[in-house]
Amino acid sequence: MMISALLHTVGDLLMHRSVSWLAGIAAVACVFTFAAPASATSDFARAWKEAYLAGDDVDADFVKTARKAGCYVCHIKGHPKKKEVRNEYGKAIHEFLKKEDFPKDYLKEKPEEAKKKMVEGFKKAGEKKSSDGEKFADKIKAGKLPATDAEL
């Protein structure tokens, strides 16, 4: 009888630890699943917004339109592979800025240097022409979204 009670107690303890262990694993999995990953891509978007949507001289309607467009300033709306497929402006930016050139450690250790390089890339891309013949930078200065093929 005593051995049976001891085995029952040990079994309850192991069961309780297993449940706690599984709950801990589930919590960690949720954090990794739902946490926004820090990546160069989000840093590119942040730097673009600071470069083109900040300041007193920026048209409020353009700011509203660009913020509403969000990712689609550089990507194509409705495409099943939206993170991988770029519109014409996104392709122009990609010529000068590669995600691989901005690893997480670099972004963390030298944020100002990284931002400066990003803005330089945006300016170089801005000198390229859209399919409508207008430079991307001129379109942005005129308060228009740069890409003609963003499907917006």
Residues 97, 121: contact at Cβ < 8 Å?
yes
What is the structure's pLDDT at 116?
A: 97
Cα 69 to Cα 77: distance, rounded to the nearest angstrom: 9
80 and 103 belong to one structural domain: yes
Cα 143 to Cα 110: distance, rounded to the nearest angstrom: 31
95 and 26 belong to one structural domain: no
CA distance readout (Å), 1 to 4, 5, 14, 60 = 5, 6, 20, 80
27 and 45 belong to one structural domain: no
Domain extent, residue 78, equals 40-141
For 130, the 3-state DSSP assignment is: coil
Residue 150 lies in a domain: no
Nearest CA-CA partner of 147 in 81, 136, 138, 137: 136
Number of domains in the chain: 2
Residue 152 lies in a domain: no
112 and 131 belong to one structural domain: yes
What is the structure's pLDDT at 83?
A: 79
Residue 28 lies in a domain: yes
Residue 85 lies in a domain: yes
28: Cα within 13 Å, side-chain hemisphere: 6
Residues 44, 97: contact at Cβ < 8 Å?
yes
Task: Tell me the mean pLDDT per 10 residues along the chain, length 152.
Answer: 55 52 41 40 92 93 95 90 89 96 96 97 98 97 92 72
Residue 123 lies in a domain: yes
User: What's the gap between Cα 127 and its chain centre?
Assistant: 24
46 and 23 belong to one structural domain: no
pTM confidence score: 0.71
Cα 138 to Cα 79: distance, rounded to the nearest angstrom: 27
